[in-house]
Amino acid sequence: MSENSEKLIVTKIEDGTVIDRIPPGKALKILEILGIDSNYPYTVALAMRVASKKMKLKDVVKIRGKALTPQDTQKLSFIAPTATVNIIVDYKVQEKQNLKVPNHVEDFVDCVNPNCVSNAHEPIVSSFDVVSKDPLILRCVYCDRLLEQKYLNRKL
């Protein structure tokens, strides 16, 4: 397959978001974390395992009428750190963002520790430092426990 064949599979969208260079096989997971399901009212195009010059194989997702929140982008950076986010207006790329795994995340996922104060009814939000990006490991600011890739894959 060539770059050309991808264009045949995936149609252009008028406005919305194109997430490109997703690690192969992760596209469905990305739709899930963005809350895109069968009820989504606009065009969604998804291509899995298409040829890519940079990464041999990649997934691509195009979602019409969707703008990513900072939280969406954060989640995306953990699942698909290689991905680029293109904001499309009037069929044109208006902005291109490279994802960057942050060093700290808040109110993002629940702590793995049931006895953690961030899981109790207190006026605080969960808060984690990123101690490793590959594999992804978060450390709870409250209880110090580690959230490892396996747990995060289940939760994100």
Partner 1 sequence: MIPKHLFSTRIISKDFIEQIFSLASKIESNPDQFADKCKGKILGTLFFEPSTRTRLSFESAMLRLGGQILGFTSAKVSSAVKGESISDTIRMINLYSDIAVIRHYIEGVGEIAKNFASIPVISGGTGSQEHPTQALLDLYSIKKEFKEIDNLSIGVMGDLLYGRTIPSLLFALAKYENIDLHLIAPPALRLRKNVALRLKENGFKYNIEENLKDIISDLDVLYMTRIQKERFPDPVDYERLKGVYQISTEDIKNVKDRFIILHPLPRVDEIDYSIDKTKHSRYFEQALNGVWVRMALILIYLGID
**In the complex, minimum distance from the CB of residue 153 to partner 1, in angstroms, rounded to a whole number:** 17
Decide: is 141 part of the binding site for Zn ion (CB under 5 A): no
Token pair recorded at residue 52 = 């890519």
The single-letter DSSP state of residue 82 is T
Site for partner 1 in 99-128 (CB under 8 A): 113, 115-118, 120-124
Residue 152 binding partner per list Zn ion, partner 1, none, with a CB distance cut-off of 5 to 8 Å that depends on partner kind: none
118, 12, 126, 143: which is closest to 74 by C-alpha? 126
Give the nearer residue to partner 1 in terms of CB position, either 45 or 143: 143
The single-letter DSSP state of residue 119 is G
> By CB under 8 A, which span of 7-15, 42-50, 57-65, 138-146 interacts with partner 1?
138-146
Token pair recorded at residue 56 = 């041999």
Distances from the Cα of 145 to the Cαs of 11, 34, 64, 110, 141, in angstroms? 45, 27, 39, 12, 8
Which residues sit at the interface with partner 1, rule CB under 8 A? 113, 115-118, 120-124, 131, 139-146, 148
